[in-house]
């Protein structure tokens, strides 16, 4: 919609605190309108039958006025007008964890995906945790190997939802030793910024493309914009990749990164 302000994009690294001090979910609810929030939960990535109901209960306990689950189990489900209208009426959408390939194969290229992109561009806030976080951007890590080094062929990329093409997300980042596969993804596509999200940690990305860190862990930023050399085109599958000129930032709650200018700042940490 011309002249509209894009909604916030909120990838979460998984295992976010849900009971004692759910800071990330509280911040999402506040962004969506506090007590007037109207949230749709999409549990498609999960094969657990109670995932949607669990998040409904959590959001209700946080004071959300209206919350409902839309379980898209088939591509035909993604074309139902009533479900599309429900998304259009919401102030926030929450994509649960599970398997990101279920999201891309069931939602990808459907009217639901188009509606989510259109509504986010017009102001709908979209959050995703774990697999839901990976699916948010245009380039999605489908699966890959753990480890600290970039290895040719160690990661497989697939098309994601496409709310933005500025970054590639990886989640459970420090807990599952995933820096190598995120580096490999950037070797394939140096244009993007790599965002590695620890568990119980989120990147709140505003319409101005400023990323604010919320949660108990850290966000690792891998910026290949100044990449001077990569031999990805020369090495065989399974071999380490040489990458020169990368920039790395480790951000904690209060710190910021501007995805447009590629600059990191301590943010509110300077005032502590």
- Let me know if 149 is a catalytic residue: no
139 part of the active site: no
Strand partners, 92: 39, 125
**DSSP states of 1-39:** -TTPPPPPEEEE-S----SS--HHHHHHHHHTTGGG-EE
Q: Which helix (H) or strand (E) holds 201?
A: strand 201-205
172 a catalytic residue: yes
d(CA 190, CA 245): 11
- CA separation, residue 103 to residues 82, 108, 217 (Å): 20, 7, 26
Q: How many of the other CB atoms lie within 10 Å of CB of 166? A: 19
Residue 100 · residue 134 · CB < 8 Å: yes
Q: Which of 130, 134, 137, 154 is catalytic?
A: 130
Catalytic pick among 46, 137, 154, 199: 199
Catalytically annotated residue among 16, 125, 154, 172: 172
Residues with a known catalytic role: 130, 172, 199
């Amino acid at each position: 919609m011309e002249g509209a302000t894009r909604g916030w994009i909120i990838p979460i690294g998984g295992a976010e605190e849900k009971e004692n001090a759910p800071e990330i979910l509280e911040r999402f609810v506040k962004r969506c309108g506090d007590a007037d929030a109207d949230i749709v939960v999409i549990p498609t990535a999960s094969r657990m039958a109670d995932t949607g109901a669990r998040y409904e209960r959590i959001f209700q306990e946080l004071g959300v006025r209206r919350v409902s689950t839309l379980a898209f189990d088939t591509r035909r489900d993604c074309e139902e007008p009533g479900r599309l209208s429900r998304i259009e009426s919401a102030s926030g959408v929450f994509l649960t964890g599970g398997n990101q390939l279920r999201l891309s194969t069931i939602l990808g290229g459907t009217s639901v995906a188009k509606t989510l992109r259109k509504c986010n561009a017009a102001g709908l806030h979209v959050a995703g945790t774990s697999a839901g976080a990976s699916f948010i951007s245009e380039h999605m890590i489908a699966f890959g190997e753990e480890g600290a080094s970039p290895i040719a062929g160690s990661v497989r990329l697939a098309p994601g939802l496409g709310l933005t093409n500025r970054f590639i997300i990886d989640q459970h980042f420090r807990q599952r030793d995933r820096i190598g596969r995120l580096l490999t993804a950037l070797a394939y596509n140096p244009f993007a910024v790599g965002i590695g999200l620890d568990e119980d940690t989120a990147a709140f990305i505003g319409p101005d493309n400023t990323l604010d860190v919320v949660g108990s862990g850290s966000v690792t930023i891998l910026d290949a914009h100044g990449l001077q050399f990569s031999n990805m085109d020369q090495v065989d599958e399974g071999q380490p990749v040489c990458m020169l000129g990368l920039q790395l930032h480790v951000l904690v709650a209060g710190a910021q990164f501007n995805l447009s200018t590629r600059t990191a700042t301590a943010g509110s940490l300077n005032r502590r």
